[in-house]
Structure 1
Amino acid sequence: MGTVYLATDPHERRVAVKVVRSHLGWDTEFIQRFRREIDGARQVPPFCTAEVLDADPDHDPPYLVVEYVNGPTLAEVIDQDGPLTASNLHALAIGVATALTAIHGAGVVHRDLKPRNVLLPPGSPKVIDFGIAHALQSAGRLTAEDQLVGTIGYMAPERFDARLGNDVEPSADIFSWGAVVTLAGTGHEPFDGGTPMATAARIVSAEPNLDGLHGPLRDLVAEALDKDPARRPAARDILDRLLQPGAAVPGTTVLREQPVLKAAVDGVTSRYAVPRRRRRRWILAAAVIVALLGGAAFPFLTERRSTVASPPPPPSSSAPAPAAAEWVGELQQSFGSAEPVHLTFALDADRGTIRYPRLGCSGTVTVTERTTEKIALTERITDGPCTAVGTIVLWPTGPTTMLLDYKPANGKYTARASMTKR
Structure 2
Amino acid sequence: MSKWPMVRLGDVCGFLNGGTPSKTEERYYSGTIPLITGADILANEVTSARSFITQEAVNNSATNFVEKGTVLLVSRTGVGKVAIAGMDLCFSQDITAILPEESRLDKKYLCYFLKSKASYFKYWQRGATIQGITRDVIESVKIPLFPLSSQKRVAETLDNSQEIIDAHKKQLEELNNLIKATFYRMFGEPTGHKWERVFIDEVYDIIDGDRGVNYPKQEEFSHEGHCVFLNAGNVTIDGFNFDKLQYISMEKDNQLRTGKLVRNDIVFTTRGTVGNIAYYDSSIPFGNMRINSGMVLLRQKTGLLDPLFLCILFRTPKMIRYYNNFLSGTAQPQLPITNMRKIKIIKPPIVLQNKFAEIVTQIENQKSLVKQSLAESQNLFNSLMSRYFD
Same fold (TM over 0.5): no
Query: By percentage of residues, which structure has more strand?
Result: 1
TM-score (norm 2): 0.29
Which of structures 1 and 2 has the larger relative contact order (alpha carbons within 8 angstroms, sep 6+)?
2
